[in-house]
Amino acid sequence: MARRRDPNKPFLDIHGDRGAFSIPRRKWRELLFVGALVPDGEAYVRDPSRPLPVFRVPDLFPVGARFRVREEGEHVHIERIDSSSPEK
């Protein structure tokens, strides 16, 4: 049986693990709007001075980590980038 998604609770709609996951586009836009994630070259980084909205899975966006983002339909795929490897 498929899980029913609640459009009013986008923080529950997370697929994947801490290394690579997807979130609803609506939640991604919220992260950008509040300034919790900011562009850093072709990646995004966490701004620790800004509030991070609630997520069911803790530590999705640790301070100091870099993230590669790919928007696809109504979801945004986010992959943590190893700081020792070059970006694609």
What is the dihedral angle through the alpha carbons of 73, 51, 53, 62, rounded to the nearest 10 degrees? Answer: 80
Please give the distance of CA 27 from its chain centroid, rounded to a whole number: 8
Q: Is 53 left (phi over 0), alpha (psi -120 to 50) or beta?
A: beta
Is the pLDDT reported for residue 8 higher than 60? no
Is the pLDDT reported for residue 77 higher than 80? yes
Residue partners of 83: CB distance under 8 A and separation at least 6: 65, 66
User: What per-residue confidence (pLDDT) applies to 2?
Assistant: 37
Q: How much is the mean pLDDT over the chain?
A: 82
Is the pLDDT reported for residue 28 higher than 90? yes
As a whole number, mean pLDDT of residues 40-55 equals 91
